Chain A
Amino acid sequence: MIDTADMLTICRTTYTRVLRTKSLYLLLASVLCLVGAAHLYTDLTCGRQKELMYDSGAALITLVGLLSGLMVTFDIARDLREKVALVLLSKPLGRAHYLLGKFFGVAYLVTINIALVTVGIMAILHWEFGGWKWDFLQVALSTWGSMIMVTALGVLFASFLTELPAALLTLVVFVLGHSWEFLARTGAGIGKILFCVLPNFCLLDFKSELGNTIGVSWGVVLMAVVYALVYSIALLSLSTILFSKRDLA
């Protein structure tokens, strides 16, 4: 039985510790400035500044989410290196609780950051386009799903690796995860199985379609988010199994 109180305490400690970082707020402000500055790129883009604003907004949301999500790899690894985890786990606290607490703490941070940046970018886009770009919410929602998956991946790699390899491996899987589309196109069964089993970030990437005003149904976007959440459960389960076998001493 999972003790939610213990888990929530770890979750709260994790995100308050990260939220105390002042550079985070500078990062968020810089993102909004960068998106707003695209307005000045009329000549440089030959009149495509609106598209630039939309697409750079979508890219920067991904970047903010990715940086926030990667924090979990550093946080868990630091706890293990500084033996904080050892002290915590000596109390009646399960290893699963610890990992889930860390995951929810960073996932909460990811959610807050993505929500803040989305609101800011939506306001800038409203000012530039003269109307609300509601389809940008689809970009934000699918990006949020991806970043929850990145956080879960970070937890998985941090459960058996040190800081840098865990962060790098998470990044590599994130990059490769956007390229699995070709596996679905291969006629071979193994390709299709790999497409379904491997963490598939291209299923959550609607930036090009929405940026080109092709349009994606909300049903598909929501299904993609559910996929991200279910896959994150799988990753967290695997992390729990691996972490339970790890010698922390």
Chain B
Amino acid sequence: MTSQAPKAAVVLLIISLVVSMMLSIKIHNGRDPVSVKTAKGGNSLFTAGFQKALSHFAWMRLIQLRGGMDKVTPERADILIKKYDNLTNLDPMFAKAYEDGALDIGWTKPEKSLELLDKAIELGQIKSWRLPFTAAFIAKMRLQKDPKNLERAIKYIELAANAPDRPSYVKRFEISLKAEVAKDETEVLDLWVKYYTGGSDRFVEMGGRGMGIGGDMEDDGSRRIALNRISKISASIINAAQTQLQGEKDPSKRQALEKRVSDTRKIASQVYGGSRICPKCFKPYQAGDRFCPNDGQSVTPYGICSKCGEVTRGAFCQKCSTPVAK
């Protein structure tokens, strides 16, 4: 070995170390910090890059452990909490583990269950609506009924409602939670109308028919539920306002109550696309109906030919072609 070789090696050592230092900074900055956090997990210090594979084995063992439990007692819940926590440290993106874990322990240890879900939500990488929905469900159903916990549930459900691909019942759950903290029924009505319109004025344009295309109205069930709620709340608001009107002497207050009645009527009518609605239950009735098909209330009939008495849905009588008022 010549003395030149070590000298060259020393020079090469220094150069390569400097270059590798520069590269390490560049790679570190080039990686998404959230994904690095995700990749490294919480306490996966000595897993030597095997944490993702190890998480599968931890998951399989957890399934076996859970399968052996007939009931999750508080003691068993503590064991499960630790297991789920370790598992999600190994793979912080394991959405199913968070969800199953939260539901497993949510009944006995709701706060711990929410901690587990918070861990996933704070990571901000899991786009599933299921996690905040489960959190909202646990906060609403399992925690003590007080305004603070309701606020927590609303915070979670808002996240779920804004997540992509969430089903329509998530939005309905959001409205029902917000309705609990709403200051009056008008605010609740507004929430349901907004839900029904899906953030647009399409319900006016389409006359309440043929909805179910995009927006919040994914299916006929959602549409029916929303319309039912709007009818019920409208009826309740108007009945309450009319009762108040009977005993009210103050002209300014009377004016406000009358305005509330007319505004609510207008909203209900608009929701049904200008269809005739029952003055009692605020549900639409068909041409020719003399009594509301929903509650039997006497209603003003329409769509009856003045000449031959035939019921028609169009603008002209189908029997004698006389124009019929809608």
Contacts and interface: CB of A to CB of B under 8 A. Distances in A.
Interface of A: 41, 44-46, 48, 51-52, 55-56, 58-59, 62, 94-96, 146, 174-175, 178-179, 181, 184, 195-197, 200-203, 205-209, 211-212, 214, 216-217, 219-220, 223-224, 226-227, 230-231, 233-234, 237-238, 240-241, 244
Contact of B24 (A58, A195, A209): A195
A237 B12 contact: yes
Contacts of B320: none
B40 interface: yes
A50 to B, nearest CB: 11
Contacts of A200: 24
A200 B22 CA distance: 13
B17 interface: yes
Per CB-CB distance, the 4 closest pairs between chain A and chain B, nearest first, are A59-B53, A208-B39, A237-B13, A234-B16
Q: Looking at chain A's contact residues, is the secondary structure mostly helix, strand, loop, or mixed?
A: helix
A240 B5 contact: yes
Given A55-B56, A241-B9, A244-B6, A212 B20 contact: no
A175 B53 contact: no
Contact of A223 (B9, B23, B32, B125): B23
B1 to A, nearest CB: 5
Q: Looking at chain B's contact residues, is the secondary structure mostly helix, strand, loop, or mixed?
A: helix
Given A96-B9, A212-B93, A233-B12, 19 more contacts: A46-B63, A46-B96, A48-B59, A56-B56, A59-B50, A181-B36, A195-B24, A202-B40, A205-B49, A207-B52, A214-B32, A224-B27, A227-B23, A233-B16, A234-B20, A237-B9, A238-B9, A241-B13, A244-B5
Nearest to B7: A241
A230 B20 contact: yes
A214 B125 contact: yes
9 contacts: A59-B53, A201-B49, A202-B49, A203-B28, A227-B23, A234-B16, A237-B12, A238-B9, A241-B13
A227 B24 contact: yes
Contact of A196 (B5, B12, B21, B46): B21
B47 interface: yes
B305 to A, nearest CB: 62
B71 interface: no
Contacts of B125: 212, 214
Contact of A227 (B13, B20, B36, B49): B20
Nearest to A184: B28
A184 B39 CA distance: 15
Interface of B: 1-2, 5-6, 9-10, 12-13, 16-17, 19-21, 23-28, 30-32, 35-36, 38-41, 45-53, 55-56, 59-60, 63, 91, 93, 96, 125
A95 B5 CA distance: 9
Contacts of B32: 214
Given A55-B53, A196-B25, A241-B9, A231 B16 contact: yes
Contacts of B60: 41, 44-45
B38 A208 contact: yes
Given A56-B53, A224-B27, A230 B16 contact: yes
Contacts of B19: 230
A226 B50 CA distance: 22
Contact of B91 (A46, A56, A62, A208): A208
Contact of B49 (A62, A223, A233): A62
Contacts of A223: 23, 26-27, 30
Contact of B63 (A44, A212, A234): A44
A203 B13 CA distance: 20
Contacts of A56: 53, 56
Contacts of A146: 49
A201 B49 CA distance: 8
Contacts of A219: 30
Contacts of B56: 45, 48, 51-52, 55-56
Nearest to B39: A208
Contacts of A220: 27, 30-31
Contacts of B39: 205-209
Most buried by A among B20, B38, B96: B20
Nearest to B90: A208
